[in-house]
Homo-oligomer: A and B are copies of this chain.
């Protein structure tokens, strides 16, 4: 077991109606004025926006609104929001939405307290030393952004989908009410399931050490995601299934499962970020395309762990059968498992590989992931 630091100071407030206390929770921390960040409007249609405003008003917390965050969130929006924060004497960011909204909130929180370009943090030109506090109300369980310090933003000018990570960006409080997730459509449910499984298996397969306990945690998450996704496809309003799905999602990328493993790396995310930077495909859909292809390519580098995965998660006897079972499960829930199913032209493989390779260099992925290797992986898709 490798040395590690585990530090996750995010407080989770989980359960029905918890969002109606958001104003009180924020005010308790001495916050006077927040930037209220959200997406393209669903929270206005379903009444959540209004309830948040009522709660803020009741607690005497002022707010400035910044809506319109899109999936694969854009640097230009982050820039605009930072300007708004600086002009309005705002002292916290309140994100209401899924991973894209929360990731944007974190980038805004980091960029609002410096005079330099926030993108410098993403290209490792500067490091984060302070940030405004972030609060979240989660409407989609997938990214685990509500319980970590990660943010992934797309620079639409340079076509780079890059990330930052700092415990300073961990939300102070995240409100998770599974009822707010019941309107998620089945295709986005599927993409979310794939994303959570991706977070679970990246380190599980690539780590330098595989403590049994850590592997068991990962398998517990994956089994829970599979089981609850199948329930939710049939009944999107099953509260308990939504709740377990959401809680497992937070655990998949909050530092717990990777502790002691040596950390591993994130090759599937690396390749997917290139895919969605170039094609604006949903993150989970891109991952469903990449994962089985990568697993086939990688399995012989860590055969015992692939055999363990097959056995523990799917009750299968070989690494190959485990990969086939996962791919078939992705397919069964409606996630694309090939480039063609995702409408990605095979001719673009070299471009995707170049883009992913550039990101991999930034992430310190090492020699395993040359442009040629990434092309090989993509040809499996």
Interface residues of A (CB under 8 A from B): 1-16, 18, 178, 211-213, 216-217, 220-221, 223-224, 227, 239-240, 243-244, 247-248, 256, 259-260
Closest 9 interchain pairs by CB?
A3-B15, A216-B220, A1-B243, A7-B11, A213-B224, A6-B12, A9-B9, A213-B244, A211-B244
Q: What residues on B are CB-neighbors of A243 within 8 Å?
A: 1, 211, 260
Q: If the complex has contacts A220-B213, A243-B1, are A6 and B11 also in contact, measured as CB distance less than 8 A?
A: yes
| CB <8 Å contact, B1 and A18 | no
Contacting residue for A3 out of B6, B16, B211, B220, CB 8 A: B16
| CB <8 Å contact, A4 and B9 | no
Contacting residue for A260 out of B11, B14, B211, B227, CB 8 A: B14
| CB <8 Å contact, A4 and B11 | no
Cα A169 to Cα B80 in complex, Å, equals 41
Closest to A16 in B: B3
Q: What residues on B are CB-neighbors of A12 within 8 Å?
A: 4-7, 259
Known pairs A3-B15, A3-B16, A3-B18; list 10 more (Cβ under 8 Å): A1-B239, A4-B14, A6-B11, A211-B240, A211-B247, A212-B224, A213-B221, A216-B216, A244-B260, A247-B259
Q: If the complex has contacts A213-B247, A240-B211, A244-B211, are A5 and B1 also in contact, measured as CB distance less than 8 A?
A: no
Cα A8 to Cα B11 in complex, Å, equals 7
A304, chain B: closest CB distance, angstroms: 15
Q: What residues on B are CB-neighbors of A248 within 8 Å?
A: 213
| CB <8 Å contact, B216 and A259 | no
A29, chain B: closest CB distance, angstroms: 13
A7, chain B: closest CB distance, angstroms: 4
Q: What residues on B are CB-neighbors of A2 within 8 Å?
A: 15
Q: What residues on B are CB-neighbors of A223 within 8 Å?
A: 212, 216
A173, chain B: closest CB distance, angstroms: 9
A216, chain B: closest CB distance, angstroms: 4
Q: If the complex has contacts A212-B227, A259-B247, A260-B243, are A5 and B13 also in contact, measured as CB distance less than 8 A?
A: yes
Closest to A8 in B: B8
Q: What residues on B are CB-neighbors of A239 within 8 Å?
A: 1
Q: If the complex has contacts A8-B8, A243-B1, are A259 and B14 also in contact, measured as CB distance less than 8 A?
A: yes
Cα A247 to Cα B256 in complex, Å, equals 10
A279, chain B: closest CB distance, angstroms: 34
Cα A14 to Cα B261 in complex, Å, equals 12
Closest to A3 in B: B15
| CB <8 Å contact, A212 and B14 | no
Cα A5 to Cα B21 in complex, Å, equals 13
